[in-house]
Amino acid sequence: MTAALARPNAPTGLIRSVAPVRRRPDLHWDEFSRHWREEHAAIASRLAGMTSYVQAHAHPDLQAAGTPAAWRYDGAAFAGFADLEALEQMRADEGYRSRAVADEAEFVDRAAMAAVLLVDDWVDPPADPVAMRRTVLVFVRAGATDGADAGRALARQLAAGGGAGPSGSAWSRALGRDPGLAPGGADGCRFDALLELWFEEPAAAAVLAERLVATRERLVVSVVACLVAEENRVI
């Protein structure tokens, strides 16, 4: 892992608890997104220990046509911590179980939710993080020998089809399993690496996601989910 990584709009050296999320089945996507962005964000912003908290909202209209059903999530949550002690500080916060976890039941399908702890292998930040409008999140089940080179190879393969490329990218791998939810991710989305691709042009993000879905059987790594999302940075 690189000692100092310039992740957009976030401190360096983060340990991130990352969880793809699905909305509660009885909720319309707009209500799910509103509750997460407004009510849950207000609760999360008051928890001790977190250095950053980012919500990636994946509106159904943004997703690639032909996306496999198992890949379909409504977003992903990213909670950042300076170290493992800070993570435990958040979990010990009185409001974590009584308010944050309890509120998740109001809008999230918790049976389909599980987090993995990730650390960055490499980050190629965009020149202007403020200009980012879309993020393509590629959740990967990497092999034991797949390191930073696997992320580079995947990014090159996805860019090979032409078109406007991402303005920045990052590859992170599992530090260990997050005992707060479930080991390795939910059954349908077990992952241990993540490729993030940031785009200034929404159309370019859509084109790359379509290419990924169309070529998924020929990719250099095993992809278990792909989301096109808009980021909401709470902390």
Q: CA end-to-end span of the chain, whole Å? A: 24
181 found inside a domain:
yes
Residue 45 has pLDDT above 50, yes or no: yes
1 found inside a domain:
no
Residue 47 has pLDDT above 60, yes or no: yes
Helix segments in the chain, DSSP class H: 29-34, 41-44, 84-92, 94-95, 102-104, 148-159, 202-214
221 found inside a domain:
yes
- pTM of structure: 0.91
What would the pLDDT profile of 56-96 be if each residue is shown by its tens digit? 999 999 999 999 999 999 999 999 999 989 999 999 999 99
Instruction: Tell me which of 176 and 112 has the higher pLDDT.
Output: 112
3 found inside a domain:
no
Q: Tell me how far apart the alpha carbons of residues 42 and 40 are, in angstroms, rounded to a whole number.
A: 5
118 found inside a domain:
yes
What would the pLDDT profile of 171-225 be if each residue is shown by its tens digit? 999 886 555 544 445 555 688 899 999 999 999 999 999 999 999 999 999 999 9
161 found inside a domain:
yes
If one counts the domains in the chain, the total is 1
188 found inside a domain:
yes
190 found inside a domain:
yes
pLDDT on residue 132: 79
Mean pLDDT (the chain, rounded): 88
Which domain covers residue 192, as residue numbers? 15-233
Helix segments in 73-224, DSSP class H: 84-92, 94-95, 102-104, 148-159, 202-214
